Chain A
Amino acid sequence: GESVGLHLPTLSVQEGDNSIINCAYSNSASDYFIWYKQESGKGPQFIIDIRSNMDKRQGQRVTVLLNKTVKHLSLQIAATQPGDSAVYFCAESKTSYDKVIFGPGTSLSVIP
């Protein structure tokens, strides 16, 4: 059914600190996970992805951790910068399934 209006979870961090954004996914059969960053008034941008045969994957300043036992995904951003302020979405998908399911998002605010 239709969702009611929600307040996004918000994370505030000091510039230069590390950020950790968490996500609980819904389907234990999901085997592909993606993190997106969405700035105000724009479409989501791909940050990093991970497949279920991995526990950890690193990119430039970002690391994604996958814990399949508890269906948990996290995004770590090192040395957070003001330009990292945005809403971050996790998404899950299954190889045999065409749809991608998005989480509700977390708003990251970087304090200069």
Chain B
Amino acid sequence: DGGITQSPKYLFRKEGQNVTLSCEQNLNHDAMYWYRQDPGQGLRLIYYSQIVNDFQKGDIAEGYSVSREKKESFPLTVTSAQKNPTAFYLCASRIRKDRGGNQPQHFGDGTRLSIL
């Protein structure tokens, strides 16, 4: 089955520590996205990537970093500069617009990050 896999499902961060959240997709999608979701709120865009080795900041990129070395993978690092990292992190992918028009995003099942 094709889909998006996020790991781990739960993650705990100590003060001053960087942590990396994994996102892998086998849907052959070019575009990948990271969102943050706080309790009772919608999704806010952290970073997105339309193609390998390229990515753009979203609305709340401060304190986060990403890489896109492979089409299938888009890991997100939550750095120690992110002072309020406790949230539910969602990864998504979709066909790039210039290859298939506007299409819905497919989401993973998220990683819940908490502070120790």
Contacts and interface: CB of A to CB of B under 8 A. Distances in A.
Interface residues of B, number: 31
A7 B39 CA distance: 9
Contacts of A95: 97, 101-102
B16 interface: no
Given A98-B56, A99-B58, A49 B42 contact: no
A56 B107 CA distance: 25
Instruction: Specify which of B40, B43, B50 lies most central, judged by the most chain A CB atoms within 10 Å of its CB.
Output: B43
A32 interface: yes
Interface stretch (A14-22, A38-46, A58-66): A38-46
Contacts of B48: 98-99
Interface in B42-73: 42-45, 48, 50, 56, 58, 60
Contacts of B106: 46
Interface residues of A, number: 28
A41 B112 CA distance: 9
A3 interface: yes
A102 B90 contact: no
A5 B38 contact: yes
Interface of A: 2-3, 5-8, 31-32, 34, 36, 41-46, 49, 51, 89, 93, 95, 98-100, 102-105
